[in-house]
Amino acid sequence: MGQKYKVFIKDKVTLVDPEKWSSFCAGYRIVEAAGGLVRNGRGELLFIFRNGMWDLPKGKMEKGERPMETALREVEEECGVSGLKIGRALSDTYHTYLEGKEPILKKTWWFEMSCEGSPALVPQQEEGITEVRWVDDNALDEVVQRSYQSIKEVIQSWKSSV
């Protein structure tokens, strides 16, 4: 049996067998997105604050876009950071939510990214982002505690691979 898909439904983990994946997905509209785990020249990580939670910058793929292109574009748009360098792919995540009454299953491709120095940040307020912050190792646990389960998974996976 293949590896199960891990889906975050209301911050609870649901494991779906590969042979049941198609029927599971049939109940959702699929949205594809990409984002980045950005580290600056001081080793701090980039977080956004939206809807009362700390999150990583990410967004929906545009037609014809590849995941890496989306990730770079979205981080720049949501945080005002330019000059990003993209690194290796991190683990993908799946999570569900409602858009109105429509159930959505979002797949997000995650990439490690870096930038020089510690650039000034500008939150994309029209996307509901009220704060953008560089977070050092001392504050990381506190920020991650107020993050979605899928974001905790990305951070944990990244930390175990560095």
Task: Give the model confidence (pLDDT) of 64-114 as tens digits.
Answer: 999 999 999 999 999 999 999 999 999 899 999 999 999 999 999 999 999
Q: Which domain holds residue 148?
A: 5-161
What is the pTM (predicted TM-score) of this model?
0.92
Number of domains forming the structure of the chain? 1
Q: Report pLDDT digits (tens) over 104-139.
A: 999 999 999 999 998 889 999 999 999 999 999 999
The string of DSSP letters for 68-132 reads HHHHHHHHHHHH---S-EEEEE---EEEEEEETTEEEEEEEEEEEEE-SS-------GGGTEEEE
| CA quadruple 147, 110, 108, 65: dihedral sign | positive
Q: Report pLDDT digits (tens) over 10-62.
A: 878 999 999 999 999 999 999 999 999 999 999 999 999 999 999 999 999 99
Say which CATH number the domain at 104 has.
3.90.79.10
